[in-house]
Amino acid sequence: MMNDGCKPNEITFVSVLSACSRSGLLEEGRRVYELMVRVHGLKPSIEHYGCIVDLLGRAGHLKEALKLVQTMPLKEESVGVWESLLSACRSHGDVALAEIIAEKNLKLNPTDSYSYVQLSNIYAAKERWGDVREVRRKMRMQKVSKEPGGSMIEVDGVVHEFLAGDGLHA
């Protein structure tokens, strides 16, 4: 793109960083991020931070991702970034860091089921059944329930939504 004289913008960098993350291209993603900030002078948005945290998390660089999240200036918008890091903890089996992140997420949004469910799943993977029960007890106390999974499809201009367990689209 740059070779053809096109100047990349913020959206371009989100797309490229996301592609690096999904493809496992850690060093390329780091290089692209530095190019965005240092060469093009673009200020990272929450989407850019999310891509980099996802990139680092998928590559198992959880401590580096945590440091980035802790130092990013967009604290009030950071719930999704923390959730991305929590997901990486689940993938890499890092219970201690997952507990810290889940606590942080629940302070930001105590009624969101995501952190509870992820932490419960992390404990279950480690066969820590007492901890699983405790997380589920806390969910009941906070009156938080897991949101059902779902998907959508458009057929002949009509959007159909499917929710897990709804039994309406058999």
Nearest-CA neighbor of 68 among 99, 111, 37? 37
Per residue in 76-127, pLDDT (tens digit) is 667 889 899 999 999 999 999 999 999 888 887 888 899 999 999 999 999 9
- Report the pLDDT averaged over residues 59-74: 92
Task: Classify 2-163 by CATH class.
Answer: mainly alpha
Report whether pLDDT(166) > 70. no
CA atoms within 13 A on the CB side of 61: 17
Q: Read off the tokens for 147.
A: 């949101």
Q: What is the pTM (predicted TM-score) of this model?
A: 0.79
CA 33 to chain CA centroid, nearest Å:
18
The proportion of the chain whose per-residue pLDDT surpasses 70, expressed as a percent, equals 92
| pLDDT bracket for residue 65 (50, 70, 90) | very high
Mean confidence (pLDDT) of the chain: 88
Domain boundaries, the chain: 2-163
Confidence at residue 170, expressed as pLDDT on a 0 to 100 scale: 46
Nearest-CA neighbor of 13 among 109, 129, 31? 31
Confidence at residue 2, expressed as pLDDT on a 0 to 100 scale: 66
Rounded CA gap, 24 and 56, in Å?
9
Confidence at residue 168, expressed as pLDDT on a 0 to 100 scale: 57
